[in-house]
Amino acid sequence: MRFLSSIRLIPVRLKAQYKKKQFLQNATCGQNLSVSSAAGCDSFDRQSIVIGDGCEIGAYLSAKCGARISIGNRTTIRSGLIGAAVSIVIGNDVIISNNVHIYDNNNHPTDPEQRLEMTQSGSFYGPLWAWGKSSRAPVVIEDNVWIGERSTILKGVTIGRGSIIGCDSVVTKSIPPYSVACGNPAKVVKCLK
């Protein structure tokens, strides 16, 4: 039985090794980077995604339209999507749980005519679909923040140092340092200091 379970792990390990190579080619990575088999990395150059030392990445990181994603040291991002069209900065010692999405943009324009033009263009991947056509604003997640599972962080938000975002929260406005925030939209429910 032990032999059979180790056979199933080999493809996952190989896939994780492949994903780590992808990160090393598409991002600037610090020492001791751990990448899961579900992770991904897409950027226009290696300088657009910068990952610090001792990080664990299980999410898909996408920097488009000249954007930058910066991740500090000793940060774990379990799974989800980090999508930047301008700038997403994640500090040191941050815990980002499973299925968390962080966007500095709306992905698509809010104008109905522009969206109609996109869908009628004949391609779902052309220049009309670029995130640069949507509303955008930088996201900052300061040091020692914990973001709970299935949360979404939206454009223009800063989450202050030492804060906690509860599971299933949608953060639409900035959260002060050392706060606990939860809900949709997320609201501060407790101060930690």
Cite the active site residues: 108
Is 121:105 a contact under the CB 8 Å cutoff? no
Beta strands in 27-171, from DSSP E residues, in sequence order:
28-29, 34-35, 40-42, 49-51, 56-57, 60-63, 68-71, 76-77, 80-84, 87-90, 95-96, 100-103, 139-141, 146-147, 152-153, 158-159, 164-165, 170-171
